[in-house]
Each structure stands twice: as C-alpha cells, then as structure tokens.
Amino acid sequence: LLKKAIDCLKKEFEMKNLGRIKFCLGLQVEYLENGILVHQEAYITKVLKRFYMDKSHPLCTPMIVRSLDVNKDPFRPQEKDEEILGPEVPYLSAIGALMYLANYTRPDITFAINLLARYSSSPTRRHWNGVKQIFRYLRGTMDMGLLYSNVPKP
C-alpha cells in the first residue's frame, strides 16, 4: 500500500524516498516494537541550556500542590507589596518555549504552563519559581513523548 502511494506520487512529482523519518519540524521520531514515539528531547536540552536549567535537580511533578487557602496559593496574582519581574528575567520567552512543548509532545505540562501564562503581564518571583519547577520536571522526563501504539486494543 505504501509502495503504491510512493509510486503514484513519483509519477506526479519529482521526489526521492529518503526512508523513515527521524526528525521533522523539531519533533524526533523513534520507531519502537509497540509503535512510534514522538518526542522533543533535543529541544528540551536546548531550552534547559538557554535558561540555565540544564544542571538543575530533576523533579517528578510539573507544579507544586496548590493550597485551598487563596492567600497561600503560590499561583495567586501579584500582591501589593510584591515586585514585578524586570526585563532581565526571561519570563515571556520561557512561557513561549514551554507552550511550544505543551502543544506538540508534552500535554503533561499544559495545565501548569497555562496557569503561569495568566501572569505574563505582571509576573512575580513566585511565578518565575513555578516556571523553574516545570523546567526541573522536564529535566527529569526529557525522554517522554507521545506514543502512537500499533498494538490493537482487546
């Protein structure tokens, strides 16, 4: 079936078959016995270096547990006495890099990053610490991605 499709395309277009894809649009593709794994380990490594988190201690969760007490919630909005981060802290760049990951291969960080993105206009040190928590989580889970299984469901 695949050979027929390739032959049909070759009749219409000038093309070469380069074999199985390994890297496409920033996504790494691995062929496993039980399916195809799509991940972004190389991109995560690059992002961690960019934000100086490549030597950080890995964590096992993307965010700390939220408090039911609004005054103790680390993800509450800026308080009156809290200072907004200056331009020297790359908060928006970090949010963008993490959203890229969340959209393509890391749905496990989606909730945490969307929560922190709410404070993009006035981030505080607390919010930056939340971003660093996600980076540390990624440091420990760089090899995770999406597995498209070829094993039939029972």
pLDDT in tens, 25-40: 889 999 999 999 999 9
Per-residue pLDDT at 71: 64
pLDDT in tens, 109-145: 999 999 999 999 889 998 999 999 999 999 999 999 9
Query: Is the pLDDT assigned to residue 1 strictly greater than 80?
Result: no
Per-residue pLDDT at 70: 58
Query: Is the pLDDT assigned to residue 18 strictly greater than 80?
Result: yes
Per-residue pLDDT at 92: 96
Domain regions of the chain by residue span: 40-144
DSSP string, the chain: -HHHHHHHHHHHS------S-SEETTEEEEEETTEEEEE-HHHHHHHHHHTT-TTSPP-SSSSPPPPSSGGG-TTSPPPTTPPPP-TTS-HHHHHHHHHHHHHHT-GGGHHHHHHHHTTTTS--HHHHHHHHHHHHHHHH-TT-EEEEE-SPP-
Confidence of residue 83 (pLDDT cuts 50, 70, 90): confident
* Higher pLDDT among residues 81 and 110, named by residue: 110
